[in-house]
Amino acid sequence: MGPQSVTIEEIDRAIAARSFPPTFPPRLEARYEQDQGAYRRRRLSLAAFWFAVCYGLFLGIDARLVADVFFTSAFVHLAVMVPLGFGVALIAAHGSTPWVREGSSAALTVVSVATILWVYLISETASAAHYHYFAALPILYGNVVQRPHFSYAASASAIALALHWTALANGGLPVEVAIAAGIEFLAVVVVTLVAVFLIERELRRAYLRHLRGEITADRLSHSNDELRQLSHLDTLTGIANRRWLEAHLHEMSGRSVRAGVPLAVMMVDVDHFKGF
């Protein structure tokens, strides 16, 4: 399928718009997906791959903070989250539609927060009271490194925030500590979402400026081709004129020499030309 056709006027309106979340009108969004989809697939796939690697390495922290449920935590890390991260990397790399690609990346953030909070709730060691703080790491990684489109990141962050506050309410922490932890998690969500919004908005604007330059250059090239063609034709007859002959005579003579065949030029003087 060829590139989605858009006009400079559409691009100018999109540049001037202040949409929230940062999106384009349908035709321009389709062109954006055609031009940027492959890059987005590579980027999200690589981010999900390294998420799986890093999540597996964090198992060493569980051995110290939630030792009483370490084997359960190890199962969650190595049998659930690491394969899930690699699976999302494959889905993101081959996702045929944006919602599959972006949605799977956002879902990875939600599931990782949920598993961290579940381990926090089932552990009974005193040090487990600090384990819930690690739930902020998937938000940081998901919103700043993976960085799915803003609407997906916002949805995943809202679900993760609800899960976190629910876990704090049922985790047996002192009220003051639970409130402070909830505010800290909320701050992480808000700050990272602002970052996602600003980064995506600037990337989209940079894309629009680049696309506008491409279309302008293409129009200029097309106009130059038309002018060049017109300058080589006689306006009355539509036949190639002397300028065309001078521009191509050297090429034709060289072709004649290479082919070993003679080159003939015939000049005809037409009487009563106006009759033609």
pLDDT in tens, 195-220: 999 999 999 999 999 998 888 887 77
Question: Measured between alpha carbons, how far is 256 from 267 in angstroms, rounded to an integer?
Answer: 19
Would you state the pLDDT for residue 230? Answer: 64
Q: What is the DSSP string of the chain?
A: -PPPP--HHHHHHHHH---SS----HHHHHHHHHHHHHHHHHHHHHHHHHHHHHHHHTHHHHHHHSGGGHHHHHHIIIIIIHHHHHHHHHHHHH-SSHHHHHHHHHHHHHHHHHHHHHHHHH--SGGGGGGGGGGHHHHHIIIIII---HHHHHHHHHHHHHHHHHHHHTTT--HHHHHHHHHHHHHHHHHHHHHHHHHHHHHHHHHHHHHHHHHHHHHHHHHHHHHHHHHTB-TTT--B-HHHHHHHHHHHHHHHHHHT----------TTGGG-
Lowest mean pLDDT segment, chosen from 81-95, 174-188, 209-223, 224-238: 224-238
Is a pLDDT exceeding 90 seen at residue 119? yes
Averaged pLDDT of the chain: 88
Per-residue model confidence as pLDDT tens digits over 13-22: 888 888 888 8
CA 85, CA 53: separation in Å to the nearest integer?
8
Report the pLDDT value the prediction gives residue 221, as an integer from 0 to 100. 73
Per-residue pLDDT for 246 more than 60?
Answer: yes
- 131-168 residue pLDDT tens: 999 999 999 999 999 999 999 999 999 999 999 999 99
Average the pLDDT over 42-65 and give the result.
Answer: 92
Q: Which of 125-134, 185-194, 224-233, 247-256 has the highest mean pLDDT?
A: 185-194
User: How many CB atoms lie under 10 A from the CB of residue 73?
Assistant: 25
